[in-house]
A and B are shown apart, each in its own frame.
Chain A
Amino acid sequence: MAKVLVVTSGKGGVGKTTSTAALGAALAQKGQNVVVVDFDVGLRNLDLVMGAERRVVFDLINVVQGVAKLPQALIRDKRVESLWLLPASQTRDKDALTDEGVGRVIDELRSRYDWILCDSPAGIERGATLAMRYADEAIIVTNPEVSSVRDSDRIIGMLDSKTVRAERGERVEKHVLITRYDPGRAARGEMLNIDDILEILATPLLGIIPESQDVLKASNVGTPVTLNNADSAPARAYVDAARRLMGEEVAMVVPTERKGLMNRLLGRRAA
């Protein structure tokens, strides 16, 4: 049965788009049929992170408004064949999205895919509420930093009140994904640690993505980090998180960088 999953956070710049692309690609590599949907109308970026920016013809708004049919707007990934992208519009604004229009598109996607990953815009306005509106599950992307944790708490409250499931008296299953985590700094008491964040948000953990230069390297070239360098620490952390989404039991460890022989000999820090 199809699952609609919103990737949200409240705060901007914490890694929603990076996480949507990385988890979408990881799930697709496990043989799942996946579509990643960009809800950031007017400021789309999922196409860029996925490396499909030059292949966008029609978008979510076109489909919502009936200008294009869903298959015309869907873009198939060139690396993983069961991975698809539904881009947002870059020229329209979020008011062009309607609740029932989004509902219709989500329903149609449910009949085609196993996973529908909705990349939410930042904020708590219309775009963000529509991205979470039809979700069965939610990933709350959180940085170990006070403003991000506060905004995550706010978004958790919205997931419990403004979604279709909440209005029916059902639960949206929520998971916290901690990104940009630096185990060294947390151990030195310079950064909120995992237990602090989970205790404050009272929401189960999906994964811990370590701070890593590989994330920027991957977005530079338009490849989800799980595909760009599968051996890197963030890629392994995202693959673990994807396996947990699929119901597998995976021990919660923070992957670390594997130092190359040359780096080890030269004593370089692999960050």
Chain B
Amino acid sequence: MSLKLLRLFGGRPPTAPVARERLQILLSHERGLLGQSDLLLTLREEILAVVSKHVALDPDKVIVKLDRGKTVSTLEVDIEVPNNFDKSKAPAEQRMAG
């Protein structure tokens, strides 16, 4: 009631609820990521190693994300492959052979 009265008299809306909501959203995200950080790191390195055998990759363009849901979690792997990936390794090998 006091809050409503304050606002009635031109007070600004309270900011604490905004703080609470921002924290809840941020922390639900960070807890998922940080709790699994070792797993994610391992997955990322192994995925990078396997794909790099066949395609030249920029390691910074490999993004591994884990989103924790209530019942199911999703693992999102985003790998950016350069358009000329089939040539990027091939010319070097050809040159070596020639």
Q: How many angstroms from the CA of A150 to the CA of B26 in the assembled complex? A: 8
Determine chain B's interface SS by DSSP, over half rule.
helix
Q: Is B72 an interface residue (CB 8 A)?
A: no
Q: How many A-B residue pairs have CB under 8 A?
A: 44
Q: Are A192 and B27 in contact (CB under 8 A)?
A: no
Q: Is A189 an interface residue (CB 8 A)?
A: yes
Q: A154-B30, A157-B34 are in contact. Are A190 and B23 (CB under 8 A)?
A: no
Most buried by A among B13, B16, B34, B35: B16
Q: Are A196 and B16 in contact (CB under 8 A)?
A: yes
Q: How many angstroms from the CA of A146 to the CA of B17 in the assembled complex? A: 11
Q: Which residue of B lies closest to A187 (CB)?
A: B2
Question: With a CB–CB cut-off of 8 A, which chain A residues contact B30?
Answer: 150, 153-154
Interface string of B1-30 (1 = CB under 8 A from A): 011001000000111110110111011001
Q: A187-B2, A189-B3 are in contact. Are A146 and B16 (CB under 8 A)?
A: no
Q: How many residues of A are in contact with the other chain, CB < 8 A?
A: 17
Determine chain A's interface SS by DSSP, over half rule.
helix
Q: Is A271 an interface residue (CB 8 A)?
A: no
Q: Are B17 and A189 in contact (CB under 8 A)?
A: yes
Question: With a CB–CB cut-off of 8 A, which chain A residues contact B6?
Answer: 188
A146 to chain B, nearest CB (A): 5
Q: Are B15 and A189 in contact (CB under 8 A)?
A: yes
Q: Are B20 and A153 in contact (CB under 8 A)?
A: no
B interface list, Cβ under 8 A from A = 2-3, 6, 13-17, 19-20, 22-24, 26-27, 30-31, 34-35
Instruction: Name 25 interchain pairs, CB-CB below 8 A, sorted by A.
Output: A145-B19, A149-B23, A150-B27, A150-B30, A153-B27, A153-B30, A153-B31, A154-B30, A154-B34, A157-B34, A187-B2, A188-B6, A188-B14, A189-B3, A189-B14, A189-B15, A189-B16, A190-B16, A192-B20, A193-B16, A196-B16, A196-B19, A196-B20, A200-B20, A200-B27
